[in-house]
Structure 1
Amino acid sequence: MSALKWGQGKGEGAAGPSLFGLPLSPGHFVLPRVLRRPVRILARLGVGEFQAPRFSAAILSGVLIASSSAYGAYLGGDVEGIVQSITARTGFAVDQVKVVGNRQTSEIDILDRLELDGWTSLIGFNAEAARERISGLPWIEVAAVRKVYPHTLEVRVEEREPFALWQQGNDLSVIEKDGAVIAPFSGGKQVLLPLLIGAGAPAKAPDFLAKIEKYPELASRVKGYVRVGERRWDLKLDNGITVKLPEDGEDQAIAELVSMDHDKGLLSRDIAAVDMRLSDRLVVQLTPEAATQREAALNEKPKSLKRKPETKI
């Protein structure tokens, strides 16, 4: 007989509702639907009428063991690994990675920084930590890592902008416009970048290269910009000629150089260097071959001219 009894009338002798023999109220009393089943079970437990389901002891033991294991994992710091293992085997393992925006950085390097092991769960994956690791790559300026459920990672990067190559001794590096070194020279399209040589070159290069670029014909022939003594520039041209610019007044010197080349073909001659360091003169140095030819030509001329005998009239 149930321990929860409801009164059927209001007359004398009508039994009121009771739980474990305790009256609840003199009138009608209705429990919320969600509480009715738990209350009935508790009432049956009170009078010994409730029978536990089969295997309940095994279930309770399993729950106890599982909760103990979870608590032990929490204390030992292994919760993340357990979550990764369970969720990866239930359909959330990362099996696709999309990389967008990389030009100089290889996808292999980016994947290596993600630290995926084949059973990495998207749920437990730390996207922020992965973003910081990717941001540490030489060419990466900005990185973003996004989870796309159920099993995809999307990596978007913005790379640093190369400005020039900088040679110091035997070291050749790719630099930004502000002179910051990005990475060692690795070939490919990087060979098309302007070549700066010497200490102090990166700091002065942006303004100086802008002056040269005003004269496209000259700029296309320059293969190297040499900073001399951190005071002035030499230009190394594609035909081997070196143009030595002055410390002061380099704008005027560049304009004169372009004008002489246009009018007289100065930079197409067989010369080794054009020295413009002195403001009042221009010195041209011949190549060894040209110097030899010039000396031979001079030696072929007669040392003196024979005078014709005078004729008396």
Structure 2
Amino acid sequence: MFALTGKKRSRVRQPDAAGLVEAESGRVLPRPLRRIVRFAVSLAVGRVPIPRHAGTVAAVSFLAATGFYGMSLGGHTQDFAQSTTTAAGFAIDDVKVSGARETSEIDILEQLGLDGTTSLVALDIEEARQKLAKLPWVEHVSVRKVYPGTIEITLKERTAFAIWQHGNDLSLIEKNGSVIAPLRDNKFSALPLFVGRDAEAAAADFDKQFDNWPEIKARVRAYVRVAGRRWDLRLDNGVIVMLPEMNVPRAMEQLFRLQAEQGVLERDIAAVDLRLEDRTTIRLTEGALERRKVVLDQRTKELKKVTDRS
């Protein structure tokens, strides 16, 4: 057999119209770039047909993009979306509120800024929820869109536990002492009244201690915090009960016994001092003091007469 030997001839590919391909030993553009360049060359030499009105469409698209970019820079995108979607029939025309006992619908509408032309599409649900959460009585709120033009708002409101008087101001408070809102009317007049600095923070724990003496608790009109350390009770007949700083149950048991055995709270007294464990002091009213003084003077005169006769 004869061995055929020889050099393999190098084949050279002629460059195409775009001049994209060189010799096999040269560099070749990546495939995506080759397609782009080929399309650009074909477009330049007239091989690609251009649809009618393509220039008009391109110009309108360019102007629209420029307009949207300008609105974005100027902060008018929201206004544009609002007016466009409102005109398309998505204006908010119904607001359904549930769970509102103390929060008025007027306050809700004002907080959301609804004016009859607000678009449901453009409404930011999270922003609306945050605004409503700032209302005094609102503890939790959810907001839901119902197309084409309804908002559903569900509220969970805070619960008023008592009235707190600080200075000349009256406020409604929760059990944890948080202030809900100023007291505006007599709707909550049946709630217990706590008076003084720091009284709101200790109100719930102190009030709970009186559950064992419901008869006396029903007669309390105000719990007054004294020097941030102890309490006075203001009863419905004006009597002041002065409680100790410590061991309030012991003092209340003493008061309950005095009331049961002697009806002390029905007498013409100004105050009952229970601050000391070994004694109870009762202070009479001014009228009772005058009457007592008259009685004592009369008794003194009678004793003097008896002494003189002797």
| Partners of 2:144 and 2:83 in 1: CA distance | 21
Selected match of 2:283 from 282, 285, 300: 285
User: Which amino acid in 1 is paired with 2:119?
Assistant: S
**Does the 8 Å CA contact 2:243/2:273 hold for their aligned counterparts?**
yes
Selected match of 2:237 from 231, 236, 239: 239
- Name the residue aligned to 1:306: 306
- Name the residue aligned to 1:25: none
- Name the residue aligned to 2:117: 119
- Name the residue aligned to 1:191: 189
Unaligned runs of 5+ in 2: 1-45
| Partners of 1:235 and 1:142 in 2: CA distance | 36
Q: Quick one: structure 1 residues 71 and 271, their matched pair in 2 at CA, closer, same or farther if it must change by over 3 Å?
A: same
- Name the residue aligned to 2:261: 263
- Name the residue aligned to 2:212: 214
Q: Quick one: structure 1 residues 279 and 119, their matched pair in 2 at CA, closer, same or farther if it must change by over 3 Å?
A: same
Q: How far is 1:79 from its partner? A: 2.5
Q: How far is 1:140 from its partner? A: 1.4
Cα displacement string for residues 181-239 of structure 1 (whole angstroms, at most 9, x for unaligned residues): 22222223232221111223233322221111221111111011111122211100011
- Name the residue aligned to 1:77: 75
Unaligned runs of 5+ in 1: 1-44
Q: Secondary structure of 1:272's partner?
A: strand
Q: Secondary structure of 2:122's partner?
A: coil
Q: Secondary structure of 2:303's partner?
A: coil
**Does the 8 Å CA contact 2:177/2:202 hold for their aligned counterparts?**
no
Identity %: 45
- Name the residue aligned to 1:108: 106
**Does the 8 Å CA contact 2:85/2:121 hold for their aligned counterparts?**
yes
Q: Quick one: structure 1 residues 156 and 289, their matched pair in 2 at CA, closer, same or farther if it must change by over 3 Å?
A: same
Q: How far is 1:279 from its partner? A: 1.4
Range 216-225 or range 244-253, more displaced: 244-253
Cα displacement string for residues 126-176 of structure 1 (whole angstroms, at most 9, x for unaligned residues): 111011011112221111111111111111111222222222222322222
Q: How far is 1:104 from its partner? A: 2.3
| Partners of 1:278 and 1:66 in 2: CA distance | 86
Q: Quick one: structure 1 residues 46 and 241, their matched pair in 2 at CA, closer, same or farther if it must change by over 3 Å?
A: same
Q: How far is 1:73 from its partner? A: 3.0
Selected match of 1:200 from 193, 198, 201: 198
Question: Do structure 1's residue 144 and structure 2's residue 137 form an aligned pair?
Answer: no
- Name the residue aligned to 1:133: 131
| Partners of 1:109 and 1:210 in 2: CA distance | 35
Q: How far is 1:84 from its partner? A: 1.3
Q: Secondary structure of 2:194's partner?
A: strand
> What is the alpha-carbon root mean square deviation over aligned residues?
2.9
Q: Secondary structure of 1:230's partner?
A: coil
Equivalent positions of 1:161-176 (< 5 A) are: 161-176=159-174
User: Which amino acid in 2 is paired with 1:285?
Assistant: R
| Partners of 2:63 and 2:228 in 1: CA distance | 75
TM-score normalised by length of structure 2: 0.75
Cα displacement string for residues 9-60 of structure 1 (whole angstroms, at most 9, x for unaligned residues): xxxxxxxxxxxxxxxxxxxxxxxxxxxxxxxxxxxx9899x9969xx99888
| Partners of 2:104 and 2:285 in 1: CA distance | 46
Q: Quick one: structure 1 residues 274 and 47, their matched pair in 2 at CA, closer, same or farther if it must change by over 3 Å?
A: closer
| Partners of 1:223 and 1:260 in 2: CA distance | 20
Structure with greater helix share of residues: 2
